[in-house]
Amino acid sequence: MYGWFDAECRAAKRELANKIRESRQKPSSKNIENVTKCRAKYKNLLKNKKDEHAKSKWQELEQALTERKEDKFWELVTRGIQGVRYTSEASITASTWIKHFSSIFCPKTSTSEVAGLDNVNDFSTLPEWDAVSSGEVKSLIASLKPKKAPGEDMLPPELFKENPEWWSPFLASLFTSINSSGQMPGGWKMSIIVPIYKKGGRNDPQNYRPISLLNITSKLYAQHLLQKLTEWLQERQIVHEEQAGFRNGYSTIDQCFTLNHIIRKYTKQNNSHVFAAFIDLSAAFDSINRNRLWGKLQNSDIDRRLLRLIQELYTNTEMRVRVGRNGSLTEAFSTTSGVKQGCLLAPTLFNIYVNDLVPCLAKIDSPSPTIRNRNIFVLMYADDVVLLSLSRLGLKNLLKAFSKYCQEEYLSINYSKTKVMVFGRHCPRYKWTLDQHDIEQTHLFKYLGIVFSESLSWKHHRDAVKLKAEKTIGALMKFFYTQGGQLIEPAQKIFSNQVLAQILYGAEIWGLDTNICKTQEILQNKFLRKLYSLPSGTPAALLCTESGWPTVKAKVDFAQLRYLKRIATLHNDRLPALCFEEMRIWQHKKFGLENLLLNYNLPELNSALNMNKRQLRDWLFWIDSRRTLQSTRNSKFSPWFPFLKTEHFRARYLIKLKPPSLRIAFTELRFQVMPTAVLDGRYHNVPWENRLCICGQSQVEDIVHYMLVCPLYSAPRERHLEPLLTHGKGNCLAETMHFLLSDTNNYVTHKVALFALSAKKIRKIELDKIAINCRGDSKD
């Protein structure tokens, strides 16, 4: 039986069967009425169960997309909800897993000592801290992300989030005691590793990505320490501006925007080349030498109690690997290297560890790009590193210095994934080597999700996004028809919040390229046509008006202006802010901003910057909706549509009208794409006057004839439409059509949809009869 057919459905089915049996044994009007009511109740229950089941499927799908679990997403759309398989049926033994992860997290080099490293055991000599309050713990609990896997103690985050009043005083007392004594629960040192299969042979541990599960209480305490660590870093401005990874107020777009600005500045303005090396580090977070990290922190003015507590959290750490289909755990093994995966301190500790890379490279002889007289020779986003120079020799010097730095800091370069690019016109090809390894010079590189090309064309990024989006849309539509109950609202929500976000990623960078915008527009329109079961030629303006969506171009323009508004408010030492200053000095026209502003009746950039984000969004989308509505009035595709839809919002029937067959039938009427001679003639270039109805009255089979005149549909017309027209018919044809198709009354919409569905069936039967007669005549 279907997945949604539960015990309640079975009970209702038995009740209906009993009512039917009783009415047959004791025929009476009352028993027949009971059967009718019970059958209606049963059908309504089944309908609701189907809808609830479909919605739950959509929620599962949306959750997988939100949490970026691509494997779960594809599992849902292809085979239904079966959960994520971790180690699958791989025959990797527990000892093999231990050996593999020990080589990563407990290398021989990790035990090296750093001269002068403090080993303070008496916490009473360290600076005093105030007691942790219940209010602080409540804030920590509120920041927990739900639906995260627990650690060894099996306490999920929901347990804390649902009972903060109970947990807060207990944890506040525990954290205060730990801060005072430095003694931590042993379970906090344990990590559970779950290997997630990537690709390649399933029996090779190298082909698995480790996910670390930690106790939630240890995560809360790590967040407590992180707040103090972050406060110190910000007060002292420790982390260099070139590092944007895992910092509040910084983003991947900031680094891409800065890189794009530098390349355009030197290749377009100065007609020169920019040499860039995109460095890939192997297991950078797992390779950190903890003693060197403690040494770097000790050489700073960090609060010594904070340093010792972080050290204690990372002392005597252990791991166990979850293996097999039953989820059994291996024996525990010690780890001495790297920052703990899943630990909230890990990204910030990594930033501190590699923070001295910037001053190290600053000493190298290399002509570097500048932004407002500031030399930029490296951009970093955590372990994603880009070295920049204006000469080949300069980049070689930077590469050598970077390699030496990695050797000193126990970091490993992945030479096969490290690439060099030369940006500019007529880019020369060079041979590059690093540590006796060949480094490829490529014409494309995907940096932080955006495909950069040496000519700075966005064609390759457009093609990559299109390919991925089409695959996702195809899977989404398959889910829509097979498991999703053909529910419009959740399908649009997932596309808008997830797929469209994927399509628009980096619009702040590439948004002025009209070609890429056109491609993204086509993707949105293609999705809407499939969703509404409309033919491929349906104009984009009609689709946007019916769905209430703005065009992709408007969303791209909003993303650009919103980003410029954001960086205009940044401190003047931030790299994006410096880039923005140069852009304003060099005039908007050179960057294509002038046309963007004029397109929305904004005389200058300040007009947009002075609006708040909501005002800017509303203004851009309002201008866009007016243009879209005007386009519908100029469209010859559906002459009646402009009279039916005069405002830009999602049509109600798309959500309210069920089942899907009724919704599709009504959509076809509104867009005038119901199966008629007019529609066939449109695709076969038949003259209008020859697109005659099969009823034999020699009349063009347009929507008026179809709905109000054709004798073939007199029965459904009499049943569904004439009662409506008796009370609601207007004084003219336009008013009548508006009354029937405007979707202002749910009852009228439902009756018109019933007529349309019946008419489709009748027309198909008539066409089948004509086809049979034609075959008979041909035989004669």
Model pLDDT, residue 147? 76
Model pLDDT, residue 118? 58
668 in Cβ contact with 756 (< 8 Å): yes
618 in Cβ contact with 608 (< 8 Å): no
From residue 656, alpha-carbon distances to 102, 660, 746, 747 in Å are 58, 10, 8, 11
Q: Cα–Cα distance between 103 and 536 in angstroms, integer? A: 56
Report yes or no on whether pTM surpasses 0.75.
yes
CB atoms within 10 A of CB 613: 12
Degrees, nearest 5: CA angle 771-776-780: 145
| φ, ψ (nearest 5 deg) of residue 687 | -55, 145
Cβ density class 179-216: b for 16+ within 10 Å, e for less: beebebeeebbbbbbbbebeeeeeeebeebebbbbbbb
Degrees, nearest 5: CA angle 219-87-411: 60
Nearest to 228, CA basis, from 296, 297, 293, 288 = 297
672 in Cβ contact with 678 (< 8 Å): yes
Q: Cα–Cα distance between 484 and 475 in angstroms, integer? A: 12
AA letter at 26: K
Please tell me whether residue 375 adopts helix, strand or coil conformation. Answer: strand
The helix (run of H) or strand (run of E) holding residue 421 is strand 419-423
Cβ density class 288-326: b for 16+ within 10 Å, e for less: bbbbbbbbbbeeeebebbbbbbbbbbbeebebbbbbbee
607 in Cβ contact with 633 (< 8 Å): no
Residue 381's contacts (CB-CB under 8 Å, 6 or more residues apart) are 243, 244, 245, 252, 255, 448
Q: Cα–Cα distance between 563 and 506 in angstroms, integer? A: 11
597 in Cβ contact with 607 (< 8 Å): yes
672 in Cβ contact with 704 (< 8 Å): no
Q: Using CB atoms within 10 A of its CB, is residue 148 exposed (0-12), middle (13-18) or buried (19+)?
A: middle
Mean pLDDT per 10-residue interval, the chain, length 780 residues: 75 89 87 88 85 73 65 59 43 87 76 50 80 95 87 89 93 95 90 86 85 92 96 95 94 96 86 93 91 93 94 92 82 90 92 96 93 95 96 96 95 95 90 95 95 92 90 84 78 83 91 84 93 91 92 93 92 93 69 79 85 92 92 82 80 89 93 90 89 90 91 93 75 83 91 94 90 68
Q: Cα–Cα distance between 712 and 170 in angstroms, integer? A: 77
Model pLDDT, residue 618? 93
Tell me the CB-side half-sphere exposure of residue 457, using CA atoms within 13 A.
Answer: 9
- Here the contacts of 474-480 (C-beta below 8 Å, separation 24 or greater) are 475/73, 475/74, 475/77, 475/78, 476/77, 476/527, 477/527, 477/530, 477/531, 478/77, 478/78, 479/57, 479/61, 479/76, 479/77, 480/531
Q: Tokens at residue 767, please?
A: 């066409």
